[in-house]
C-alpha cells in the first residue's frame, strides 16, 4: 500500500527507481486483474445502472436521467467507472459493455415513459471508442427498434476527445443520429479541446458545463464569469445548458440567476438505483429555485 511504498522509497535513497518500477508493476497487475474481472462480469450480467436526475429550473421537474454504470465485483468490491471505463476502452470491452448500457437504459426508459411520465429523456454516456465503430449508428437503431424506445427520448453524451482527430468524420455521423431524432449532448464541456468553431458546427442539443467550473463558483471570482459567459454564448447557439456537479446552495443560486436551464448534482439528488426513479419523477424541485430567486430580491 501507499504508506509502505513511501517508507520503502525513503529507505531506498538513491535507488528510488526501484520504487517507481514496483509501483508501475502494481499498476499493470491491477489493470490485468480488472480486465479479467470485466470479461467475467460481462458474461454474468455483473453490471448495474444508476440514475441521476437533471432538473429543469423552469419547471422544477426532471428533464432527464443520466445513466451511470456501476460495477461491484465479488473479489474487487465496488470499482469506480473512473478506473474501469479507461481499461474497458483500452481493451475494446467498452463496445459490448456500452451496448449493454444502451439497451438497459432504453428498456428502463420505455417503462418510465409509459408510467404517467411524458417526455422523460434518458441520457447515456458514449465512449469515443464506441463512436468510432463503423456500425455504431446501426447498433443504436437496432436497440431503439428492439426496445420500442422513442429516439426523441434518447440523449447521447459525448466528450470533446472525439473531436481531436476525427472531427470531420464525427460531424456527419452525429448529424445522422440527430436526423433520427436522437439528442446529442456535449459532456464535461471546458475540460478538453474546446473550440468555438466546433460548437458552431456540431449538431448539439445540450451542453453540460463541467463540474470543475461549477465548483469554482463563489471560490474564485473568475470561475463565475466563465460559467455565466458559457451560458450566454451557448444560449445564442440555441443549445440547452446543464450544469453538472451542483453541490451547494450558493452554486445553485448563481446558476438560477444566470439563466441556466438545468442542474444536476448531489445538492438535488445523488445517482441511485432504478427503484428510486419513480419517486424522483413525482417530486417538484421548484421550491429550491424560487427560494433562490427570492434571495436576490
- The residues that touch ligand C2E, with contacts defined as CB under 6 A, are 52, 68-69, 80-82, 85, 98, 101, 125-127, 157, 187-188, 211, 244-247, 265-266, 271
Nearer to Mg ion, 41 or 242 (CB): 242
CB of 178 to ligand C2E, least distance (A): 20
Q: Which position among 125, 128, 206, 264 is part of the footprint of Mg ion (CB under 5 A)? A: 125
Question: Dmax over Cα atoms in the chain, in whole Å?
Answer: 68
Residue number of the CB atom closest to ligand C2E? 265
CB of 49 to ligand C2E, least distance (A): 7
Partner whose binding site includes residue 101, from Mg ion, ligand C2E, none (CB under 5 to 8 Å by kind): ligand C2E
Phi, psi angles (nearest 5°) of residue 185? -125, 135
188 binds Mg ion (CB under 5 A): yes
- DSSP-derived secondary structure for 103-139: HHHHHHHHHHHHTT--S-EEEEE--HHHHTSTTHHHH
Partner whose binding site includes residue 68, from Mg ion, ligand C2E, none (CB under 5 to 8 Å by kind): ligand C2E
Question: CB–CB of 207/242 below 8 Å?
Answer: yes
Residues 146-185 that bind Mg ion (CB under 5 A): 157
Name every residue whose Cβ is closer than 8 Å to that of residue 112 and which is 6 or more positions away in sequence: 65, 120, 277, 278, 281
User: If residue 184 lies in a helix (H) or strand (E), which one and from where to where?
Assistant: strand 183-189
Among candidates 195, 117, 208, which has minimal Cα distance to 155? 208
CA distance 229 to 258: 9
Nearer to Mg ion, 6 or 214 (CB): 214
Partner whose binding site includes residue 105, from ligand C2E, Mg ion, none (CB under 5 to 8 Å by kind): none
CA distance 215 to 113: 33
Q: Which position among 160, 187, 224, 240 is part of the footprint of Mg ion (CB under 5 A)? A: 187
Contact positions vs Mg ion (CB under 5 A): 125, 157, 187-188, 244
Amino acid at each position: 500500500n501507499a504508506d509502505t511504498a513511501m517508507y520503502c522509497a525513503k529507505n531506498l535513497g538513491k535507488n528510488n527507481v526501484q520504487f517507481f518500477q514496483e509501483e508501475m508493476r502494481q499498476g499493470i497487475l491491477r489493470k490485468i486483474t480488472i480486465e479479467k474481472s470485466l470479461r467475467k462480469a460481462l458474461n454474468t450480467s455483473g453490471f448495474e445502472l444508476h440514475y441521476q436526475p437533471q432538473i429543469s429550473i423552469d419547471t422544477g421537474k426532471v428533464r432527464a436521467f443520466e445513466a451511470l454504470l456501476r460495477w461491484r465485483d465479488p473479489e474487487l468490491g465496488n470499482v469506480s467507472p473512473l478506473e474501469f471505463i479507461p481499461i474497458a476502452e483500452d481493451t475494446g470491452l467498452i463496445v459490448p459493455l456500452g451496448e449493454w448500457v444502451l439497451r438497459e437504459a432504453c428498456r428502463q426508459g420505455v417503462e418510465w415513459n409509459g408510467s404517467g411520465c411524458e417526455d422523460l429523456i434518458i441520457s447515456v454516456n458514449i465512449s469515443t471508442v464506441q463512436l468510432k465503430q463503423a456500425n455504431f449508428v446501426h447498433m443504436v437503431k437496432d436497440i431503439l427498434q428492439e426496445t420500442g424506445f422513442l429516439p426523441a427520448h434518447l440523449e447521447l453524451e459525448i466528450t470533446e476527445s472525439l473531436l481531436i482527430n476525427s472531427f470531420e468524420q464525427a460531424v456527419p455521423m452525429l448529424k445522422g443520429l440527430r436526423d433520427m431524432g436522437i439528442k446529442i449532448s456535449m459532456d464535461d464541456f471546458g475540460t478538453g479541446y474546446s473550440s468555438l468553431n466546433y460548437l458552431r458546427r456540431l449538431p448539439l442539443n445540450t451542453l453540460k458545463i463541467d463540474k470543475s467550473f461549477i465548483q469554482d463558483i463563489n471560490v474564485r471570482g473568475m470561475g463565475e464569469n466563465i460559467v455565466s459567459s458559457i451560458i450566454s454564448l451557448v444560449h445564442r447557439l440555441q443549445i440547452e445548458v446543464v450544469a453538472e456537479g451542483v453541490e451547494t446552495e450558493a452554486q445553485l443560486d448563481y446558476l438560477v440567476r444566470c439563466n441556466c436551464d438545468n442542474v444536476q448534482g448531489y445538492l438535488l439528488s445523488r445517482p441511485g438505483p432504478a427503484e428510486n426513479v419513480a419517486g424522483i419523477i413525482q417530486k417538484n424541485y421548484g421550491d429550491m429555485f424560487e427560494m433562490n430567486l427570492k434571495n436576490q430580491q
